[in-house]
Chains A and B, each alone.
Chain A
Amino acid sequence: MDLAFTPQEQQFRADIRAWVGENLPADISHKVHNAMRLSRDDMQRWGKILGKKGWLGHAWPKSFGGPGWNSVQKHLFEEECALAGAPRVLPFGPVMVAPVIMAFGNAAQQQRFLPGIASGEVWWSQGYSEPGSGSDLASVKTRAERRGNNYIVNGQKAWTTLGQYGEWIFCLVRTSNEGKPQTGISFLLIDMKSPGVTVRPTVLLDGEPEVNEVFFDDVEVPVENLIGEENKGWTYAKHLLSHERTNIADVNRSKRELERLKRIAKLEGVDSDTRFRDEIAKLEVDVVALEMLVLRVLAAEKSGKNPLDIAALLKIRGSEIQQRYSELMMLAAGPFALPLIREAMEAGWQGNFPGGGNWCAPLASTYFNFRKTTIYGGSNEVQRNIVAQTVLG
């Protein structure tokens, strides 16, 4: 048992840090460190820089062009990116659909889709949830009917993150109503430029169109876009969700944001207020405990001994921590978190924020936005059901 990283791992970290330092555009990290609005271009620019290096699919095995890193190396890479102020890599392509294509897609699909994901050229979206299917994902109703060499897709997806930029979308569609709901679902890749696809933004409580409704109206999808077998999509989707949960804990970003919270508390003078300072101290312990939990999971993956079935804990705790730091940042600014001036969240804004503290501009918006974290990716209540299963059977 040893908490320290090996000398090789430390060298690996140093190499990553140096590379990120040289390649992460300063204008992007400035925005990330100050929670300013990121454009589509900002997100894709960083993705393409990683893609060029072969690191956008940094968790991919070597056989698919990934670097072949182990769990600890992956973690160190993600940590160095997060601490340097890199934007979060959107998981839909490289983290979510790519492993499904690798595991269950055929060679033609792998050759067709993986290069665009690896390079960051193609923007992928996720088509899972529907208006009537949130936690109960197996109840999806979007239909895909086989007609000749096409599926004809009709229905509606909801909560599609950044779907307004999406070029391709992976969807759970119903291909059968026989048997249990889980057994009639298929996994389909759909070109969002296809006739009959309509994307409509959903404005969230922070005023931003972060998610979308995606409508399918007699959309023709070639059968070669079906992953694996018809009606086996639920199995593939579960494979994907298991990847999402570890990713979703995102302790590295929480470390960076805890440091930012401390900076804001200093700027606002509440770092010396015992009551406020203690709240930060509690969060500090929460973050260390979550990081230890994550390190335990990583080490177990690396050694292959004693696999730990605590992924659901990571999602619950990680999301609670994200909500808490965003809440404390807002409370640190106090009344100066209340002015709603959207332009002030843009980099390079020349105006004067009321009271003069420009850092206050995004705090309440982030707080509002982060209410999503305990809802998405399987709500925390669903996660507790999973945890309870491990305790009580």
Chain B
Amino acid sequence: MDFDFSDDQQQLRDAVRKWVDKGYSFERRRAIVKAGGFSREAFGEIAELGLCGLYVPEQYDGMGMGPVEGMVVMEELGRGMVLEPLNQSLIAAAVLSGYAPDAIKAAWLPRIASGTALVVLAHQERAARYQLNVCAATATQTANGVTLTGVKSLVPAGDQADAFLVPATLESKLALFLVERSASGVSAQGYGTQDGSRAAEVTLQNAPASLVTLEGLAALEHAVDIGIAATCAEAVGVMDKTLALTAEYMNMRKQFGVAISSFQALRHRAADMKMQLELARSMSYYASLKLGAPAPERRAAMARAKYQLGNSMRFVGQQSVQLHGGIGVTDEYIGSHYFKKLTQLEMTFGDSLHHLGEVSARMQDTAGVFA
């Protein structure tokens, strides 16, 4: 058992942090939000750091790294509230490497690694909420191949992405497909989301698709679990920064002639935030270290982790706003954007109530990390 980061992992963290601090200022972020919530240029800079290829095997020009490296990178991107969805490149790389036929791997993995292709998961449907086995989109086998028909919502940077990983029902069984945005019958209507990032409603009308795998549910669950671990790590970075900002403000802000950090009621609130942050960090480690476990164990672990993270995010976010007072509810102040980021992350890949249900349903007679 070991929770230290290797020197290489520390260097990776330092490199990402340096880019976030120097290259992704709050002003730049604000400009990107204003321009729609996604910058291909910024995404290219992330790719130049090699991050898009983190989970791409070396034979396909990637770095072939694992969940701990993914966690380190996502924590740092979280600290800067980076809008460009690197987690989608991690998901796509892992899912295609694990499930796709060689031709798709060869065609897409090098492009994902270089950042020239942004491939995103397009699984959310209106009636599904957070259930992965609910899918109205259908796949039809035609003489010229498979076509998909359906509507997918909240597709990350969906009108900017180059291709989608799309679950659809083929002969009453969920399968996973790759659809290019430029294909016929594909339309993407983009919009901003609450945290400033970009999403799209993607409509597929007899759109030509490539089969990734017939084991659609297994692949989708795996994809979402990678997304959960990445979200947990990202959230730790966001919360870390949120608590630091809050502490800084409490020591600076004076009322009744003294710094508000001298009031015990507020100090205890800060202590409770620290508690939630450290529980969250612990469970983020747990999520990343369980990503390689067999599916049932992995799924149970992700539900536990996301439940903890969701609760921690809500607490840290809400209390940060409260402890800031009036400034905390202004758009001008950076802290309010961290709160919105945390709120959106709680509702990404399953909110706390959903995951409580998952934990409850999967509960065994045993207890603990290794149960």
Q: Is the pairing of A and B real?
A: yes
Give residues in A with beta carbon < 8 Å to B. 1-6, 9, 72, 255-256, 258-259, 262-263, 274, 277-278, 280-282, 284-285, 287-293, 295-296, 298-300, 302-303, 305-306, 310, 313, 316-317, 381, 383-385, 387-388, 390-393
Does B333 touch A at the CB level, under 8 Å?
Answer: no
Chain A positions within 8 Å of B289 at CB level: 1-3
The residue that A289 contacts in the complex, of B9, B247, B251, B282, with Cβ under 8 A, is B282
- Set of chain A residues within 8 Å of B271, measured between Cβ atoms: 383-385, 387-388, 391
- Is B308's CB within 8 Å of the partner chain A? yes
12 A-B residue pairs with Cβ-Cβ distance under 8 Å, sorted by A, are: A1-B2, A1-B4, A1-B285, A256-B367, A258-B368, A259-B367, A263-B365, A282-B359, A291-B369, A293-B278, A388-B274, A391-B273
Q: Would you call B275 and A300 a contact (CB within 8 A)?
A: no
Q: Does B68 contact A (CB under 8 A)?
A: yes
Chain A residues near B304 (CB, 8 Å)?
284-285, 288
Considering the complex, give the chain A residue whose CB is closest to the CB of B292. Answer: A3
* Contacts known (A3-B1, A316-B275, A391-B243); A262 close to B363, Cβ less than 8 A: yes
Within 8 A of A (CB), among B1-60: 1-6, 9
User: Which of B175-183, B261-269, B337-345 contacts the other chain?
Assistant: B261-269
B3–A385 contact, CB under 8 A?
no
Report, nearest first, the 7 A-B pairs whose CB atoms are least far apart.
A292-B282, A388-B267, A387-B271, A281-B360, A258-B367, A384-B271, A3-B289
The contact of B270 among A262, A299, A388, by CB within 8 Å, is A388
Interface size on B, residues (CB 8 A): 44
Beyond the given A317-B279, A387-B271, A391-B243, could you list 14 further A-B residue pairs with CB under 8 A, ordered by the A residue number? A9-B1, A258-B368, A262-B363, A278-B356, A280-B360, A282-B307, A288-B368, A292-B282, A303-B2, A313-B275, A381-B268, A383-B271, A391-B273, A391-B274
B144 near A: Cβ within 8 Å?
no
| B68 CB contacts on chain A under 8 angstroms | 1
Closest to A386 in B: B271
| A284-B363 contact in complex given A1-B2, A313-B278, C-beta closer than 8 Å | yes
Does B290 sit at the interface, judged by CB under 8 A? yes
In the bound complex, residues from chain B placing their C-beta under 8 Å from that of A72 are: 1
Contact string against A for B residues 214-239, beta-carbon threshold 8 Å, 1 for contact and 0 otherwise? 00000000000000000000000000
B240-253 CB mask vs A (1 if < 8 Å, else 0) is 00010001001100
List B contacts of A384 (CB < 8 A).
Answer: 267-268, 271-272
A44 to B1, CA, bound (A): 33
- Asked whether B191 is an interface residue with its Cβ less than 8 Å from the other chain, the reply is no
- Which B residue's beta carbon lies closest to that of A257? B367
Q: Is the CB of A392 within 8 A of B369?
A: no
> Chain B: which residue is nearest A280 at the CB level?
B363
Tell me whether B4 and A306 are in contact (CB under 8 A).
yes
- Of B3, B279, B360, the residue contacting A278 (CB under 8 A) is B360
Q: Does B113 contact A (CB under 8 A)?
A: no
Say yes or no for B99: interface residue by CB 8 A criterion.
no
In the complex, residue of chain A having the shortest beta-carbon distance to the beta carbon of B68: A1
Query: Are A296 and B368 in contact, CB atoms less than 8 angstroms apart?
Result: no
Docked complex Cα distance between A292 and B312 (Å): 15
B282, B283, B286, B290 pick with most chain A CB within 10 angstroms: B282
Verify A303–B282 contact, CB threshold 8 A: no
- CA separation between A353 and B236, bound complex, in Å? 50
Main secondary structure of the interface of A (DSSP, over half): helix
Of A298, A306, A313, the contact of B274 (CB 8 Å cutoff): A313
Nearest A residue to B362 by beta-carbon distance? Answer: A281
> How far apart sit A86 and B307, CA to CA, in the bound complex (Å)?
32
Give the Cβ gap from B365 to chain A, nearest Cβ, in Å: 6
Asked, given contacts A1-B5, A288-B304, A291-B368, whether A296 binds B247 with beta carbons under 8 Å apart, the answer is no
Beyond A293-B282, A384-B268, A387-B271, is A393–B251 a contact (Cβ under 8 Å)? yes
A285 cross-chain contacts in B, Cβ below 8 A: 283, 304, 307-308, 359
B142 at the interface (CB under 8 A from A): no
Give A311 Cβ to nearest chain B Cβ, in Å: 11
A387→B274 contact, CB < 8 A: yes
Instruction: Flag if B279 contacts A299 (CB, 8 Å).
Output: no
Given contacts A280-B363, A285-B304, A387-B271, contact A1 B3 (CB under 8 A): yes
Q: How far is the CA of A4 from the CA of B293 in the complex (A)?
A: 11
Knowing A284-B304, A387-B275, the reply to whether A255 touches B367 (Cβ < 8 A) is: yes
1/0 contact trace for B347-371 toward A, CB 8 Å?
Answer: 0000000001101100101111101
User: What separation, in Å, do the CA atoms of A259 and B365 have in the docked complex?
Assistant: 6
Q: B275: shortest Cβ distance to chain A, in Å?
A: 6
Q: How far is the CA of A259 from the CA of B366 in the complex (A)?
A: 6
CB nearest neighbor in B for A276? B360
List, in ascending order, chain A residues with CB within 8 A of B251's CB.
392-393
**Alpha-carbon gap, A300 to B283, bound state (A):** 16
Q: Decide: A317 near B275, CB < 8 A? Known: A277-B363, A285-B307.
A: yes
Q: Using Cβ atoms and an 8 Å threshold, which residues of chain A touch B279?
A: 289-290, 293, 317
Given contacts A1-B4, A384-B268, contact A281 B367 (CB under 8 A): no
Contacts of A300 in B (CB 8 A): 3-4
| Contacts A289-B308, A293-B279; A281 near B359 (Cβ below 8 A) | yes
Docked complex Cα distance between A259 and B371 (Å): 11
Answer whether A288 and B283 are a contact pair too, CB < 8 Å, given A3-B1, A4-B1: yes
Interface centre among B3, B68, B366 (most CB of A within 10 A): B3
Would you call B283 and A299 a contact (CB within 8 A)? no
Report the Cα distance A205→B308, complex, angstroms.
34
Measured in the bound complex, the distance between the Cα atoms of B360 and A299 in whole Å is 30
Cα separation A381 to B272 with both chains bound (whole Å): 11
Given the known interface contacts A296-B3, A317-B279, the answer about A274 and B359 at a Cβ–Cβ threshold of 8 Å is: no
How far, in Å, is A294 (CB) from chain B's closest CB? 9
For B264, the chain A residues whose CB sits under 8 A away are 385
Residues on B with C-beta less than 8 A from A291 are 368-369
